[in-house]
Each structure stands twice: as structure tokens, then as C-alpha cells.
Structure 1
Amino acid sequence: MFKHNPKKNKDEYVELSQRQIKEMSDKIDGLLLDGFKWRTFLKTQNMD
């Protein structure tokens, strides 16, 4: 199916997967930041 121009399709696939990886890492960074904020909040609540 893609035999006529394999390099072009391969490059498009790599480009897509790199974008997906960046989106995933951004989501993970956001989750880690939220988790850090939440732990910090709990620690300040327990200080009383």
C-alpha cells in the first residue's frame, strides 16, 4: 500500500509520534505539578 514512497510515510509517522510524545509528556508534567501542589497543600493543612 505504501510501497511507492515508504520514506515519506515513515517521516510523517515519526513526526506524528513525536508530537504525541510531547503532548503526553506535557500531560504528565501537568499531573506531576498538580500532585506536588496537592501534597504541599496537605502538608500545610497538617501543620496546625
Structure 2
Amino acid sequence: MDKSGQRRTKRDKVFRGRFFSLFLHRISRLKARLKEIFQSGKND
């Protein structure tokens, strides 16, 4: 395994982690919104 290959995988891992965290953040926001809609529908 050469150094350039290692560096590339590391950078890819960082990029993937950032993308994954953004993905999780969006899902959590969507869940919160769905919960709000569900709660308001229940109260009606």
C-alpha cells in the first residue's frame, strides 16, 4: 500500500463522514417535522 493510496482513502473517509452527518441531520429534522404534523393531527 503506497502513501498516496492511504491519503486518498483517508480523505474519502472524511468526505463520507461529513456527508453521512449531513444526511443524519436532515433525517432527524424530517422526523421532528413528521412528529409535529402527527401531533397536530392527533389534537385536531
So what's the TM-score if we normalise by structure 2? Answer: 0.80
Counterpart of 1:34? 30
Higher RCO structure, 1 or 2 (CA under 8 Å, sep 6+) = 1
Pairs aligned (count): 44
Residue pairs, 1:1-20, within 5 angstroms: 2=1, 6-20=2-16
Cα RMSD (Å): 1.1
Larger radius of gyration: 1
So what's the TM-score if we normalise by structure 1? Answer: 0.76
Identity of aligned residues (%): 7
State the 1:39 CA deviation: 0.2
Moved over 4 A (4+): none
Which residues of structure 2 form unaligned runs of 5+?
Answer: none
